[in-house]
Amino acid sequence: MKLYVIRHGLTKCNVEKKYNGRYDEDIIEEGINQAIKASHIVKDLNIDLIICSPMKRTKHTMELVNVNNIDVIYDDRLMERDNGKLTLTKIDEYYNNEYYNYYSTKPVEGLETLPQLFTRVHSFLDEIKIKYSDKNILLVTHGAVARAIQFYFEKMPKDGMLLNVSGQKNCEIKEYEM
């Protein structure tokens, strides 16, 4: 089973360097162009199924990359990390020091912790590994979820700092073997 992961196209919050989290915004023109470019890669990947976050930015990205009209399932477990009180605020030093620190002890009201995010995403991956073992799947998702997926397959740094060792650009496609 091959698993392909694509992060949604560029959004206004991405450009403005704001936490978007569960704020349900669409992709902007540059994000549309990124998705169209990615569609040229996706069309040749031999995908059997697409599983997509139900948020606007991922749905729009999926519609643009799904040039082969592959069946789509929407799954809430692929939604972006809930940023709580950080939603729509400027990314700041907290982002660099705590947001992607797996062991952070400085909680923000309503912020889904990385252990919570990883549990959600990793249980989803455990499920699809069994349920779709004979399929190649494309996941259309978000930046924090893509990091959680990455660390399902890779060893986490001892210090728990994930910001500098991972990350997926808008409409970048990563491939994993399950």
With a CB cutoff of 8 Å and minimum separation 6, the contacts of 77 are 120, 121, 123, 124
Angle at 160 between CA 158 and CA 163, to 5 degrees: 125
Q: How confident is the model over 86-137, as pLDDT tens digits?
A: 999 999 989 889 999 999 999 899 999 999 999 999 999 999 999 999 999 9
- Give CATH superfamily name and number for 6-135+144-169: Phosphoglycerate mutase-like (3.40.50.1240)
Domain ranges of the chain: 6-135+144-169
Q: How confident is the model over 53-88, as pLDDT tens digits?
A: 999 999 999 999 999 999 999 999 999 999 999 999
Give this prediction's pTM: 0.96
